[in-house]
């Protein structure tokens, strides 16, 4: 029999969250971001769940080709663009859009013998300081691209650093929008501005933010970049990591649990052992306040997370026994809440799901 640990992917929730993103910015076209194996949900599942998207965006050129092999006929965008001359040939051959953020990429396109037209998304660095041309250099880069015969449409894009906090003390969306407007002044092309944070706060930015394309990522998978909870934004969980109790220990005051004996009981306790550990993608550094659901009831971790197991407090759940279901995150337990308690973000938990975890598909069911 297989180990009881499973990750169930809720395609219906993924489709719901895409529709929610569209509703936030009426009229805008939507790239559904499926990088990192669709945030750990599976590239092919992402393609099916986001069938209503106007295009799929990702980082990996090989996975862009895989999407074409799987039958995706709508646009595909490489968010980091091309890496070498072979990628340039691929763009035209397979109708793949490319972000351009360095002069080196423009040179690759100038030197390539492209077999057909390609569409480019020219990226401006408006303060994120990762990728993109400065506002002052943006028009020059645009002109170089416009001079390449094979380049058809040029979309103008940037990326918000602090979209989860509209009035960030160091860099606001308003400041980034002003820099973008300055650098893009007089340049023709659609605008691509909003990541999940920009999408979710679109109403609050009324009059300041106009975008033709949105690029939702984490919100499609039931997480948020910050601010309100996923539920408050109308988002649904898309991955439920669930297991079972595989053993129970009755301990007394003064007894310790787990490696390092870090947790010491201050009273008599029932401890449940759950088939899930850091080799499955559960965060090893998760502390004793990290929540879990046992038979739909809330409890917390005790002791260190080990490679294949973790331990939970069953003292207030007297009916729990070997075989009792446990939800680590997902249905009934927001992944962002678990991540916050473990000192990380939901993105990391999704993407860290280990290959040995059985992945299923099924509708969202509430467990508490």
Find the CATH number of the domain harbouring 294: 2.40.37.10
Supply the pLDDT for residue 80: 97
74 is catalytic: no
Supply the pLDDT for residue 166: 67
**Regarding predicted confidence, which is higher, 226 or 146?**
146
Residue 297 falls within a domain, yes or no?
yes
Supply the pLDDT for residue 42: 98
Supply the pLDDT for residue 368: 44
Give the least confident one: 54-68, 79-93, 123-137, 197-211. 197-211
Q: Which domain holds residue 65?
A: 11-221
Quick check: 124 and 158 in contact, CB under 8 A?
yes
Residue 200 falls within a domain, yes or no?
yes
Residue 233 falls within a domain, yes or no?
no
Using a pLDDT cut of 70, give the percent of the chain over it.
98
Find, among 292, 296, 272, the residue nearest to 283 by Cα.
292
366 pLDDT above the threshold of 70: no
Domain check: are 161 and 196 in the same one?
A: yes
Domain check: are 176 and 292 in the same one?
A: no
Q: The domain that contains 181 carries what CATH number?
A: 3.20.20.10
Residue 1 falls within a domain, yes or no?
no
- On the CB side of 19, CA atoms within 13 Å amount to 9
Domain check: are 329 and 289 in the same one?
A: yes
Domain check: are 278 and 353 in the same one?
A: yes
Domain check: are 176 and 261 in the same one?
A: no
201 pLDDT above the threshold of 50: yes
Among residues 35, 123, 278, 282, the one annotated as catalytic is: 35
CA–CA separation, 180 and 201 (whole Å)? 18
357 pLDDT above the threshold of 60: yes
The DSSP secondary structure of 309-321, one letter per residue, reads: -EEEE-TT-TT--
**Regarding predicted confidence, which is higher, 209 or 315?**
315
| 213-263 per-position pLDDT tens digit | 999 999 999 998 877 899 999 999 999 999 999 999 999 999 999 999 999
Residue 119 falls within a domain, yes or no?
yes
Residue 226 falls within a domain, yes or no?
no
Domain check: are 270 and 354 in the same one?
A: yes
Domain check: are 23 and 108 in the same one?
A: yes
142 is catalytic: no
Domain check: are 189 and 296 in the same one?
A: no
The domain total for the chain is: 2
Among residues 123, 259, 278, 282, the one annotated as catalytic is: 259
Backbone phi, then psi, for 340, in 5-degree steps?
A: -60, -45
For 158, counting Cβ atoms within 10 Å of its Cβ (0-12 exposed, 13-18 middle, 19+ buried), the class is buried
Mean pLDDT over 45-56 rounds to: 98
Residue 368 falls within a domain, yes or no?
no
Domain check: are 37 and 100 in the same one?
A: yes
Domain check: are 245 and 167 in the same one?
A: no
| Mean predicted lDDT score pLDDT of the chain | 94
Mean pLDDT over 49-56 rounds to: 98
Copy the structure tokens of residue 231: 């539920």
């Amino acid at each position: 029999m297989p180990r009881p640990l499973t990750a169930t992917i809720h395609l219906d929730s993924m489709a719901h969250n895409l529709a929610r993103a569209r509703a936030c910015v009426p009229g805008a076209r939507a790239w559904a971001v499926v990088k990192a194996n669709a945030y750990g949900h599976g590239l092919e599942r992402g393609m099916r769940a986001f069938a209503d998207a106007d295009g799929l965006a990702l980082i990996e050129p090989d996975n862009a080709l895989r999407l074409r092999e799987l039958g995706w006929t709508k646009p595909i965008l490489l968010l980091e663009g091309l890496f070498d001359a072979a990628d340039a040939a691929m763009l035209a051959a397979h109708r793949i859009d490319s972000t351009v953020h360095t002069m080196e990429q423009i040179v690759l396109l100038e030197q390539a013998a492209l077999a057909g037209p390609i569409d480019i998304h020219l990226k401006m660095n408006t303060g994120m300081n990762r990728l993109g041309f400065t506002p002052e250099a943006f028009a020059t880069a645009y002109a170089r691209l416009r001079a390449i015969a094979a380049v058809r449409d040029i979309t103008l894009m940037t990326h918000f650093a602090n979209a989860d906090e509209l009035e960030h003390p160091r860099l606001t969306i308003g400041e980034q929008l002003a820099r973008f407007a300055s650098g893009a002044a007089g340049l023709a092309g659609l605008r691509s501005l909003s990541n999940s944070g920009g999408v979710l706060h679109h109403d609050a930015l009324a009059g300041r933010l106009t975008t033709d394309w949105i690029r939702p990522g984490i919100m499609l998978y039931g997480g948020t970049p910050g601010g309100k909870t996923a539920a408050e934004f109308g988002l649904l969980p898309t991955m439920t990591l669930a297991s079972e109790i595989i053993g129970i220990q009755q301990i007394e005051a003064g007894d310790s649990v787990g490696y390092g004996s870090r947790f010491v009981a201050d009273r008599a306790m029932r401890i449940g052992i759950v088939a899930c550990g850091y080799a499955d993608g559960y965060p090893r550094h998760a502390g004793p306040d990290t929540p879990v659901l046992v038979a739909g009831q809330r409890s917390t971790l005790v002791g260190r997370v080990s490679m294949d197991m973790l331990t939970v407090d069953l003292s207030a759940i007297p009916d729990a026994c070997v075989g009792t279901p446990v939800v680590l995150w997902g249905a009934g337990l927001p992944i962002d809440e678990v991540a916050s308690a473990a000192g990380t973000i939901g993105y990391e938990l999704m993407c860290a799901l280990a290959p040995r975890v059985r992945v299923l598909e099924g509708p969202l069911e509430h467990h508490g």
